[in-house]
């Protein structure tokens, strides 16, 4: 007589099940939003190229005065592409953070465990922190600041805007890259020499950038982001304030207010939530909720930044040169009340 198969006992750890559900929900939300930003960035990239090629073809070697204005509005197209590229890089880095995608791309055993006495390795989680917080974020925000400042100052202030924007973005990321490199090389030896627990820098229940299959956020990287935000936020707010003082169009002022609010709240939210996340272990519901909040802060900053400084300026520039039938263009311009030279210049 064959004995009936034993049924598995019910779960004795409801908190662990709840943590898995929370982590899965956070991963799904982050994946959807990261893909959304990636699609938006690719669409913005196509929009920039379409406008640039069309403006270059229309202007020609001897353009009319109105098309000369169009060429000036198109002068920052390479900087906008640089901004979109850094947003794409950040989105891809956030996708690398998700355990399900790491396992599918790198294999099930993509996160090897190293003994506490060993030197830190460049595992996928440390590579994510280095790529996202150490390079993509500082470069994106520095390019965003440069694009805003160049839009206000005009083309004459930046004859080679792309080179200047690239140099500024790399300069902004240089302290992060050097700090991460030194920390990855010497942190285990220094911490063991001083008798300091790695949890002070890496968070609870971790000896590196990962805990199980979840990525952690080291305290030292959060401190670097906090220092970056302390310098960047006042600088960005002052630049937006100068732009608002120049703009006379109410609609453009609302865009600048929205951009300022998104960037200030986004950076502050990210630093605060990542600092609080060090009190919980990766996989805990509180940790996953704080990680999602930090992600949302940067996501909305990037989305609003692309909308205000990439999509809307190009759309306004198309309206300014009237790439439409004359009657329709005149009707739209009369309804909107646009047409001031300073307004069109600042918006683009």
Give the mean pLDDT of 117-121: 44
pLDDT bracket for residue 101 (50, 70, 90): confident
Domain membership of residue 7 (yes or no) is no
Domain membership of residue 4 (yes or no) is no
Give 150-166 pLDDT, tens digit per residue: 877 765 456 688 999 99
Give 69-92 pLDDT, tens digit per residue: 666 667 788 999 999 999 999 999
Q: 272-277 long-range CB contacts below 8 Å, 24 or more apart?
A: 273/297, 274/217, 274/221, 274/222, 274/225, 275/219, 275/222, 275/226, 277/203, 277/217
- DSSP 8-state assignment for residue 215: E
CA–centroid distance for 212 within its chain: 26
Domain membership of residue 6 (yes or no) is no
* Choice between 317 and 308, residue whose per-residue pLDDT is larger: 308
Residues 6+ apart with CB under 8 A from 244: 253, 256, 257
Domain membership of residue 114 (yes or no) is no
Position 22 scores a pLDDT of 62
Domain membership of residue 317 (yes or no) is yes
Distance CA 122, CA 143 (A): 27
Instruction: Please report, for the domain that includes residue 210, its CATH number.
Output: 1.20.1070
Q: What are phi and psi of 211, to 5 degrees?
A: -140, 105
Position 126 scores a pLDDT of 77
Q: 44-48 long-range CB contacts below 8 Å, 24 or more apart?
A: 44/80, 44/84, 44/306, 44/310, 44/311, 45/81, 45/84, 45/85, 45/88, 47/310, 47/311, 47/314, 48/77, 48/80, 48/81, 48/84, 48/310, 48/314
Distance CA 82, CA 86 (A): 6
Nearest of 190, 183, 189 to residue 220 by alpha carbon:
183
Domain membership of residue 56 (yes or no) is yes
Distance CA 249, CA 260 (A): 17
Query: Which residue segment(s) compose the domain that 104 sits in?
Result: 21-109+119-347
Q: How many structural domains is the chain composed of?
A: 1
Give the mean pLDDT of 230-252: 91
Domain membership of residue 10 (yes or no) is no
Domain membership of residue 14 (yes or no) is no
Give the mean pLDDT of 338-343: 42
Distance CA 195, CA 285 (A): 31
Position 233 scores a pLDDT of 96
CB 136 within 8 A of CB 75: no
Q: What is the CA radius of gyration of the chain?
A: 24
Give the mean pLDDT of 282-309: 92
CB 273 within 8 A of CB 294: yes
pLDDT bracket for residue 17 (50, 70, 90): low
| Pairing mode of beta strands 214-215, 210-211 | antiparallel
Name the strand (E) or helix (H) holding 262.
helix 250-277
């Amino acid at each position: 007589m064959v004995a009936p198969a034993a049924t598995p006992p019910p779960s004795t750890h409801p908190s662990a099940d709840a943590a898995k559900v929370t982590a899965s929900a956070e991963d799904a939300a982050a994946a959807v939003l990261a893909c959304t930003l990636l699609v938006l960035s690719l669409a913005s990239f196509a929009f920039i190229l379409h406008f640039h090629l069309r403006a270059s073809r229309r202007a020609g070697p001897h353009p009319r005065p109105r098309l000369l204005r169009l060429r000036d509005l198109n002068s920052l197209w390479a900087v906008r592409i640089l901004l979109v590229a850094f947003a794409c890089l950040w989105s891809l880095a956030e996708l690398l953070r998700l355990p399900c995608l790491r396992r599918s791309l790198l294999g099930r055993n993509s996160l090897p465990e190293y003994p506490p006495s060993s030197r830190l390795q460049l595992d996928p989680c440390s590579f994510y922190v280095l790529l996202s917080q150490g390079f993509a974020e500082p470069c994106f925000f520095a390019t965003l600041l440069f694009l805003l400042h160049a839009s206000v100052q005009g083309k004459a202030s930046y004859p080679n805007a792309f080179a200047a924007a690239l140099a500024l973005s790399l300069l902004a990321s240089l302290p992060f890259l050097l700090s991460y490199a030194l920390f990855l090389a010497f942190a285990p030896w220094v911490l063991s020499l001083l008798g300091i627990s790695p949890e002070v820098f890496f968070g609870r229940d971790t000896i590196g950038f990962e805990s199980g299959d979840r990525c952690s956020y080291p305290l030292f990287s959060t401190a670097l982001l906090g220092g970056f935000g302390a310098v960047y936020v006042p600088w960005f707010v002052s630049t937006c304030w100068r732009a608002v003082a120049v703009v006379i169009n109410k609609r453009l002022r609302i865009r600048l207010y929205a951009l300022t609010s998104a960037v200030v709240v986004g950076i502050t939210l990210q630093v605060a939530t990542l600092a609080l996340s060090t009190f919980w272990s990766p996989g805990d519901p509180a940790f996953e909720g704080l990680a999602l909040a930090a992600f949302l802060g940067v996501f909305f900053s990037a989305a609003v930044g692309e909308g205000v400084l990439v999509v809307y300026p190009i759309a306004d520039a198309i309206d300014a040169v009237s790439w439409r039938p004359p009657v329709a263009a005149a009707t739209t311009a009369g309804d909107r009340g646009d047409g001031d030279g300073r307004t069109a210049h600042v918006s683009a």
